[in-house]
Amino acid sequence: MRAELKQLQVRKKDMEMESESKLEEVRKYEKQQYEIKSNTEYQALQKEIDNRKIDNARIEDRIIEVMEKVEEAERIIKSREEFLKTERDRLATEEKKVAEQSGILDTKINDLKGSGISSSLISARRCCGNISGSLPTSGIARSSL
């Protein structure tokens, strides 16, 4: 989309230069009209002036069309950039939450390892929740993880 926008801007600039060139020709022909002595030459020059003005009007119409396309492309780009920013912010928040939860879980795992509970009991707690109240304590071997 940015490439298309750049292309439209270049096209607009080219047409503006072409329009300026036509207007410069009109000014030149209008100055020449004061120097012409025959009616035929004057009318021919006036026709050239009119043709340049018509060409310039067409160019200006195309410039307006391109400007509208440029504005639309800019709106689309801005909308997409806003969406991307919102998504980046949302993902950063999610990433932060996941990191916090991971830290909490790591702390709990380290606490359990440090307390000497066997890895099978840790696995059982992860899987089934806190079941220590229903397990007999007399056969559980304490392991030093």
Per residue in 70-87, pLDDT tens? 999 999 999 999 999 999
- The confidence score (pLDDT) of residue 118 equals 57
Q: What are phi and psi of 139, to 5 degrees?
A: -110, 5
Cα–Cα distance measured from residue 13 to residue 133, given in angstroms and rounded to the nearest whole number: 80
Confidence of residue 143 (pLDDT cuts 50, 70, 90): very low
Pick from 45, 54, 56: which is nearest to 23 by CA?
56
Whole-structure pTM value: 0.58
- Window from 23-27, 73-77, 111-115 with minimum mean pLDDT: 111-115
Pick from 4, 2, 11, 24: which is nearest to 65 by CA?
11
